[in-house]
Chain A
Amino acid sequence: MHPFAYARPTSVAEAVALLDEHGPDARILAGGTDLVIRLRDGTVRPSLVVDVKRIPELRPRIDLVGGVLMISAGSVMTDVATDARVRRHFPALVEAAEVVGSVQIRNRATLAGNVCNASPAADTAPPLLVYGAIVVAAGPGGIRRLPLDELFVTSGQTTLARGELVTAIELPVPARRMGATHVRRTRRRGHDLASVTLCCAVDDAGVTRLAYGSVGPRPVLVIDESGVLADPAAPDEAKAAVFEQMFAAARPSPRSMRASPEYRLAMLRVLGARALRTAIARLGEGAA
């Protein structure tokens, strides 16, 4: 591994100052499950690695205050997937967190890191988009909150500015009754990234929220307010027409070794229909 300097700030202000000073020469280290691989293979060569795990505000913590669940940036997938409040209010996020890597990876990989890497295949991105996640970022100009949909630009690229650091992810507890699920297609569970990753939620007002990833340069959120998808009695042809509009943004890479574009687009439709059926069934069961 290429040598680098290491910093272990103990406050958000200190971390922001370091990141601002070093700009692209610094990399944030949270769980390290992506960063350490890239440090080793040389695809990133920072002069400074900023380990944010010792910052008190970022330590693993999940709080429910005033109808908003706050997940600190140091919270790992295991923390998210085992938290009773997340399981109750955001079951599709639990399903996604539970399929990230293996036990070893989930014990280390943070939810915030999954988002900040901006991988198109990030499994937690679709449920976070569907649930309306807000990213809390601290920077030289103070703290700002932005919808997750406004964070992603393209693969590996976010709208975070120089010196900015995600400190938490906020999830508003759904105001309406909702049925939701996360599904994915992968070659081997426990290791491989998703060939398609998708989340679907249906609420009792008939709104269907769908988010999908690994079929283009960034995860995509689409919403059907017509009520057609959520209507259990609507004919399949009517639903298929809505799905086609929703999937129009899918642009799978022809260069990926994981699956061909044709396969991904076909599976996107299969998984979309399957997830919709599950979401409707869960709404009917009175699930969160």
Chain B
Amino acid sequence: MTSTKKQIAHPLDDLLRTDRIPHIWCPGCGIGTAFASCLTAMKASGIDLKKTVMVSGIGCTARGAGYVMLDSYHATHGRAIPFATGLKLANPELNVVVFSGDGDLFAIGGNHFIHGARRNVDITVVCVNNLNYGMTGGQVAATTPLNFKTTTTPAGNPDGPFNLPLMAYASGATYVSRWTILHTRDMTESIKDALLNRGFAFVEILSPCPVNFGRRNKESALDSLRLYQEKTIIKNDAHPTELDIDFDRGVILGKFVDIERPTCIDRYDSTCRPPELFNEEKAA
């Protein structure tokens, strides 16, 4: 049986700015799936949604902040993480989620990612990796695999891409995982764990970009999903050094880091706000 009445509501409509749906993402783009997964994970985690905020930079993925029915901040290109740091330090009760793309977080925003992870700011970073700069038409990114065609590498990409989980691990992230949009339930469960992890949590999500990346590399959205189905292997606890993306060899997915260490605020409070000062005041 089907029902196609216009009045029906999707289960996630309460977390969507439904007056802005349909969203701008292309047919076959995986960002919508990753975004829906993030919303489902937020609900399932039990965190206080009133105090949950989404921060993003600029790009296709970053447009997600405009569709979520939460306090959301669409900041400048690459600067979502320092913006999120300011929000979190000013009000530690906020649950800050950064939802942005690979170019935004790792090229222009690379330095900020490293320091956010180093400081272990208690935020969750969901990075949708579509291997290019989609919004501006499909330029090469720090994550574009070798030899792929993009608008700024018409003869093929001469540079090798970053291994994002390795960068996150090396910088000190307390939760690191990678999934594809096809592995939807694992992805949702992982985002939920990342939200509940105390510290800088990072989830990489591989997604097709059929119009700007796939089209130039003879890969339709369904081709990408079949690739995710056939050429990936789930290997939780794989060492981050094994995780570079090579679809011929097979891409490793899973949860690679899940630890706890003192957060930025924990350390600031214990180091810079010594209790003696408070006791002094109480005594006075």
A and B are partners in one complex rather than unrelated chains: no
- The interface of chain B, by Cβ under 8 A from chain A, is none
- The interface of chain A, by Cβ under 8 A from chain B, is none
